Amino acid sequence: MSTTDTGDAADGRNPFVYVVAALAALNGLLFGFDTGVISGAMLYIRDTFELTALFGYAIDPSYVEGIVVSGAMVGAIVGAALGGRLADRLGRRRLILVGAVVFFVGSLIMAVAPTVEVLIVGRILDGVGIGFASVVGPLYISEISPPKIRGSLVSLNQLTITSGILIAYLVNYAFASGGEWRWMLGLGMVPAVVLFVGMVFMPESPRWLYEQGREKDAREVLARTRVESRVGDELREIEETVRTESGTLRDLFQPWVRPMLIVGVGLAAFQQVTGINTVIYYAPTILESTGFADTASILATVGIGVVNVAMTVVAILLIDRTGRRPLLLSGLAGMTVMLGVLGVAFYVPGLSGLVGWIATGSLMLYVAFFAIGLGPVFWLLIAEIYPMQVRGTAMGTVTVVNWAANLLVSLTFLRLVDVFGQSGTFWLYGGLSFLALVFCYQLVPETKGRSLEEIEADLRETAFGSETGRPDAVKSDD
Ligand code: BGC
C-alpha cells in the first residue's frame, strides 16, 4: 500500500513546507539546549548557593543538586502527560505557542533566581515547556508534511535536539571562565522567543483542522503547503479517515491500536535504557577516566556533540530512502557492539594509551549509531503510527515513558557504576540494546513513503484482516 507517485509535484512538495518544519523544529532546540547546559551550569550554581537546605530543612547537598538537575525532567513528565491531550484540544500550533511561553518564563526565573528554591521552580517550569515541546514538535511536523519527505522533516526536530546539546556545550565552555551560570540558563529564552514569534505566522495542522470540522481552513493550509495538484487527493484521504472513526480516549486501548502502543512504549523506554544520556551528561567524567586531561576531555565532549549532529544529518538524508527499519536495526546493532567493546576497554586495568583511545573511539561510534537510528527514528515513528483521533494522547503517553526512563537512568547511573563498575554498567546497557534490537526486528512496522492515513488503514487491516481496512466493528460505541 505504498504511494506510487514520483517527482516533486506528485509529492506535493511546496518549498513553504520546509520553512514551517524548520521553524517548528525549534521545539527540539529548547529540549536539547536544556539537556546539555545544566551539567555545565551546575558547577557554578554550587558556588552561588548554599546547597545544604531546602525550604529551611537541612538536606544533603548532593540531593539538592540532584533535584536541581532532574527538576526539568520531572516537569517534562508532567508537560508530556498534559501535552498530548492539550494538543488534541487546543490544536498543535497553539500548544507550541504555550510551550514557548512556559519555557521562556522558566528560563527567566532561573536566570534571576535569588534562592535555590526559586531556581528549582524555574527548572520545573522549564521542564513543563520541554514536555509540551517534545510531544507537539514531531506531531505538528508529521501532520503538516507530505508523505515522501515526512521522515526527513520530522527528523529535523532530532537535528535541533542534537544541535541544542552542542550549542549548550559551547555556551558552557564560553561562560565557564566567569562562572556565569545565569547567562548559561537564561540563554534558553532566545530560541523560545524565535519559536514563539515564528509560530504566530505559521498555519495550524491541516489534519487537526479537518478533525475539528474546519474543512475550509484545512484546505487553505494544504493549498499553502502543497502543490495544487495534491490538495484534493490529500484532503480526500484525511476525510476518509476522520469519517470512519469516533475518537475517544478508549481508542488508545482498542485491539488494533494496542500493538502500536506496545511499540511506542517499548521504543520510548529502549531509547533511554540503552544509556545515551549517561554519555550526554557524564561524557567528561567517563573520558577523564580514560586518561584524558580536564581540557582534553571537554574538547572530546564537544567532539561527541559534533558526531551526534553530523550523524543526525546523515539519518535525515537517508530516512525517506532506506526507510525507518534499516536505520533503526543497524543503529541498534552498532550500539550493542560498541557497548560491548566499551565494557571490555574499561575492564582492562590501567585504562590508558591504546585502550584509552579504543574506549574514546567506541564511545563516539556508540553515539554515531544512536544518532543514525534510535535517536531520530523513535520520535518519527511515534508521530506516524497512531490514528488521527488519538494521536496527541498516544504520543503524550509514550513521551511520558521516555522522560520517566530518562529520569530513571540519570538517577541510577552513578549507583550502577558503584555496584557493577563501569564495564558492568556498559554491558548492562549493551544487553538492553540487544533486547531492543530483537524487539524492533519483531514489532516495528515500516512507514516509509505512506501517508498517515494509509498507515492507519494498514493497522486496521492487519488487526482485522479486512480488505478495506476500515471495518465498522472498529467504531467504539460512545
Ligand atoms: C533523546 C534524548 C537525548 C538526545 C541525544 C533524543 O532523541 O530523546 O534523551 O538526549 O536524543 O541526542
DSSP letters for 276-314: HHHHHHHHHHHHHTTT--HHHHHHHHHHHHHHHHHHHHH
Question: Which residue type does 443 have?
Answer: L
CB of 80 within 6 A of ligand 1: the answer is no
Q: What is the mean pLDDT of residues 279-290?
A: 77
Residue of 215, 235, 239 whose CA lies nearest to 226? 235
Residue positions counted in the chain: 478
Q: Average pLDDT over the chain, rounded to whole?
A: 88
Domain spans of the chain, in order of start: 3-202+245-473
Of 37-51, 116-130, 144-158, the one with minimum mean pLDDT is 37-51
Whether the pLDDT of residue 349 is over 90: the answer is no
- Cell numbers that stand for 439 in this block: 524487539
8 A C-beta contact, residue 74 and residue 123: no
Between 114 and 249, whose confidence is greater?
114
Site to probe by mutation for ligand 1, drawn from 37, 158, 160, 163 as the one with most ligand atoms within 8 Å of Cβ, is 158
Q: How is residue 450 annotated by DSSP?
A: -
Q: What does the pLDDT read at residue 388?
A: 85
Q: Return the percentage of the chain with pLDDT > 90, whole number.
A: 63
Residue of 348, 113, 155, 387 whose CA lies nearest to 249? 387
Q: How is residue 205 annotated by DSSP?
A: P
Residues 6+ apart with CB under 8 A from 78: 124, 127, 128, 131
What residue owns the CA closest to ligand 1's atom 12? Answer: 162
Of 177-191, 226-240, 441-455, the one with minimum mean pLDDT is 226-240
249 pLDDT tier (thresholds 50, 70, 90): low
Distance CA 314, CA 322 (A): 12
Q: How far, in Å, is the centroid of ligand 1 from the Cα of 277?
A: 7
- N-term to C-term CA, the chain: 31
Q: Would the CA dihedral through 317, 320, 323, 328 be positive or negative?
A: positive
Q: What is the mean pLDDT of residues 199-226?
A: 93
CB of 276 within 6 A of ligand 1: the answer is yes
8 A C-beta contact, residue 341 and residue 290: no
Architecture of domain 3-202+245-473: Up-down Bundle (1.20)
Q: What does the pLDDT read at residue 389?
A: 79
Residue of 287, 271, 440 whose CA lies nearest to 362? 287
Whether the pLDDT of residue 210 is over 50: the answer is yes
Residues 6+ apart with CB under 8 A from 122: 106, 107, 108, 109, 110, 111, 113, 185
In ligand 1, the atom with minimum distance to the C-alpha of 162 is 12
8 A C-beta contact, residue 195 and residue 100: yes
473 pLDDT tier (thresholds 50, 70, 90): very low
In ligand 1, the atom with minimum distance to the C-alpha of 375 is 7
53 SS3 class:
strand
Site to probe by mutation for ligand 1, drawn from 31, 277, 372 as the one with most ligand atoms within 8 Å of Cβ, is 277
CB atoms inside a 10 Å sphere around CB 428: 17
CB of 67 within 6 A of ligand 1: the answer is no
Task: Give the largest CA-CA distance in the chain.
Answer: 69
Distance CA 173, CA 393 (A): 39
What are residue 473's phi and psi, to 5 degrees? -60, -20
Of 163-172, 267-276, 299-308, 460-469, the one with minimum mean pLDDT is 460-469
Whether the pLDDT of residue 94 is over 70: the answer is yes
- Backbone conformation region of residue 91, classed left if phi is above 0, alpha if psi is from -120 to 50, else beta: left
CB of 172 within 6 A of ligand 1: the answer is no
What residue owns the CA closest to ligand 1's atom 6? Answer: 375
Residue of 98, 94, 119 whose CA lies nearest to 108? 119
